[in-house]
Structure 1
Amino acid sequence: MTAVWGSTFVLIKDVVGRMPVADFLAVRFTVAAAAMFVLFHRHVVRLERRQLWRGCALGVLYGCGQMLQTRGLALISPSVSGFVTGMYVVFTPLLATILLRQRMPATVWLAVGLATLGLALLSLNGFSVDLGVWLTLASALLYGLHIVALGHWSRAEEAFGLSTVQMAVIALVCLLATLGHGGPVLPPDRGAWIAVLYMALVAGAGAMLMQTWAQAHLPASRAAIVMTTEPVFAAAFAVALGSDVVTWRMLCGGALVLGAMYLVELTPRRQPPAEAIHHEV
């Protein structure tokens, strides 16, 4: 899933240069929501009312996070945006500790530190605390909250339905953001449409489905660490497509992020992931 997300950075940079950000997000998530509803509407009907409301709450969190992140990106450099967005790996265990009263092993906190340092080496080329940074930091907080809530509420047998509800609400949030100028503007050409469809169906609907299913089996803190591989994949695709070159920071940062992921994965578990997630459900 994070590999797919990493592949979208180059595409997004090109598309948002030719159409408004809110319009791009609205079209992308509306297409994703429509495709998921066609395929999984029966799963939505089977959801309990409580899960429907939870899906709506998750969609609002993710949709607002997308809007804040993209607005912030318009005000700061992509490298600073990437690092600040990656701070959800720090917020996730903190939120899990505060909201779910989960005790985090020391190795998880060590992994958080390694991942944060790795993200800094990968993407930080200067840092200034301005409005764009605060907007992006707010989006990282919402992403962390989404990861914690999804891990606590998601059930494997409800992944299709819960993912569809989330995507529909995300699309609604993004559509509401375009009302100020009369509704969404469609992609300007065939190339933009291909990019939007890929990001809607593969990086949008497909990734949301994978995340919802996976977090039914994976504690939130572990999921957050694994998700820090996104900038590693983004760097790899940028190099492969010729838009970037390999640097020592890229190699060292990627190694630290991967080291953090494996440190968490190798940590002995006190109880099975599903039990750890659902003991209060």
Structure 2
Amino acid sequence: MSTAARISLLATVGLLVMTAVWGSTFVLIKGVLDRMPVADFLAVRFIIAAIVMFALFHRHVARLSRRQLWRGALLGAIYGAGQLLQTWGLALISPSVSGFVTGMYVVFTPILAAVLLRQRTPSVVWLAVGLATFGLGLLSLNGFSVDEGVWLTLLSALLYGLHIVALGHWSRADEAFGLSAVQMAVIALVCLLATAGHGGPSLPPDIDAWLATLYMALIAGAGAMLMQTWAQAHLPATRAAIVMTTEPVFAAGFAVAFGVDALTWRMLLGGGLVLAAMYLVELAPRRGGKDAPPAEAIHHEL
């Protein structure tokens, strides 16, 4: 196996680990949001993550060019807006519908890559997109009504797809620490501004809420952003998006493991389809049919 292939495999495994961490958060978040406003929770979570990341990586931030600083700020604004829209939408619709609609970033990502970056997407990737979308539907869709919550969540999925495409286009492995810290600071600012209407964020009400918030901030926030930024320096955006569709699979697995949900045929079949989509993308041709140029060749202007 070549060095490039080993790094690509490591990046894929890193994204899988990050997605597993995201999947573990659904049970934790539900308990916290019962006792704390959505915007306040997000603001506290990302402020903590930003403080920690700047304490660790401020020298890396200082070495970023002005162009990369602006790119990091734009990426953070996109991601922060997506977080708020997704969570506001969740307040208006069922979690199952929210999970499916959010997962539609796997459809938006190759479309945005084709439109914005003029990347040619091979047919096997579109087949994987279809399998992943159907699998997501089986995992989480128990009814669908096009109301305000659905539109808010769909817009968040579009922003997540845009973030994946732009991050894959702009991220460099040697700048991952600094770029992650800048993104986290802007995400925190966006969420903090969302609390301005009621005088700023309230703090977690008890020790359990604090522990959940710290886990979300440091592991699912700072750690996941760092891993995603590094991994996407080595992976095409569409491939990364399909790898990340395993989030509902992990979420269902944790729900079953903790006794929150029962194992069903929908979980098994839906999860199998998502994993099959990942397998197809991993087998996508590396020559002639690749859905993006090599990482070192894609850092030109949009």
RMSD: 1.1
Deviations 1:137-182 (A, max 9, x none): 0000000000000000000000000000000000000000001000
Q: Is the 1:63–1:173 contact (alpha carbons within 8 Å) kept by the matching residues of 2?
A: yes
Q: Residue 101 in 1 paired to residue 148 in 2?
A: no
Counterpart residue number, 2:54: 37
> Please, which moves more after superposition, 206-215 or 268-277?
268-277
Q: What is the identity, as a one-letter code, of the residue corresponding to 2:250? A: F
Q: What is the identity, as a one-letter code, of the residue corresponding to 2:68? A: Q
**Residue number among 43, 67, 82 corresponding to 2:99 in the alignment:** 82
Q: Residue 64 in 1 paired to residue 81 in 2?
A: yes
> Please, which moves more after superposition, 53-62 or 260-269?
260-269
Q: Residue 163 in 1 paired to residue 177 in 2?
A: no
Distance, in Å, in 1 between the alignment partners of 2:298 and 2:213 is 34
Q: Residue 17 in 1 paired to residue 38 in 2?
A: no
Counterpart residue number, 2:244: 227
Distance, in Å, in 1 between the alignment partners of 2:298 and 2:215 is 32
Counterpart residue number, 2:158: 141
Q: Residue 277 in 1 paired to residue 281 in 2?
A: no
SS in 2 for 1:127: coil
Q: What is the identity, as a one-letter code, of the residue corresponding to 2:137? A: A
Q: What is the identity, as a one-letter code, of the residue corresponding to 2:298? A: I
Q: What is the identity, as a one-letter code, of the residue corresponding to 1:62? A: Y
Distance, in Å, in 1 between the alignment partners of 2:176 and 2:299 is 15
Counterpart residue number, 2:13: none
**Which aligned segments of 4 or more residues in structure 1 are displaced greater than 4 angstroms?**
none
SS in 2 for 1:278: coil
Distance, in Å, in 2 between the alignment partners of 1:15 and 1:88 is 26
Counterpart residue number, 1:195: 212
Counterpart residue number, 2:68: 51
Counterpart residue number, 1:185: 202
Counterpart residue number, 1:241: 258
Q: What is the identity, as a one-letter code, of the residue corresponding to 1:72? A: G
Q: Give TM-score scaled by structure 2 length.
A: 0.92
Q: Give TM-score scaled by structure 1 length.
A: 0.98
Q: Is the 1:219–1:276 contact (alpha carbons within 8 Å) kept by the matching residues of 2?
A: no
The structural deviation recorded for 1:279 is: 5.9
Q: Residue 205 in 1 paired to residue 222 in 2?
A: yes
Q: Is the 1:118–1:252 contact (alpha carbons within 8 Å) kept by the matching residues of 2?
A: yes
Distance, in Å, in 2 between the alignment partners of 1:155 and 1:280 is 14
**Residue number among 260, 265, 276 corresponding to 2:277 in the alignment:** 260
Deviations 1:233-258 (A, max 9, x none): 00000000110010000000000000
The structural deviation recorded for 1:274 is: 1.5
**Residue number among 206, 229, 233 corresponding to 1:216 in the alignment:** 233
Deviations 1:66-123 (A, max 9, x none): 0000000000000000000000000000000000000000000000000000000000
The structural deviation recorded for 1:268 is: 1.3
- Can you give the 5+ residue segments of structure 1 that lack an aligned partner in the other structure? none
> Please, which moves more after superposition, 268-277 or 237-246?
268-277
Distance, in Å, in 2 between the alignment partners of 1:269 and 1:30 is 40
Q: What is the identity, as a one-letter code, of the residue corresponding to 2:176? A: A
Q: Is the 1:65–1:140 contact (alpha carbons within 8 Å) kept by the matching residues of 2?
A: yes
- Can you give the 5+ residue segments of structure 2 that lack an aligned partner in the other structure? 1-17
Counterpart residue number, 1:110: 127
SS in 1 for 2:35: coil
SS in 1 for 2:298: helix
Distance, in Å, in 1 between the alignment partners of 2:154 and 2:143 is 16
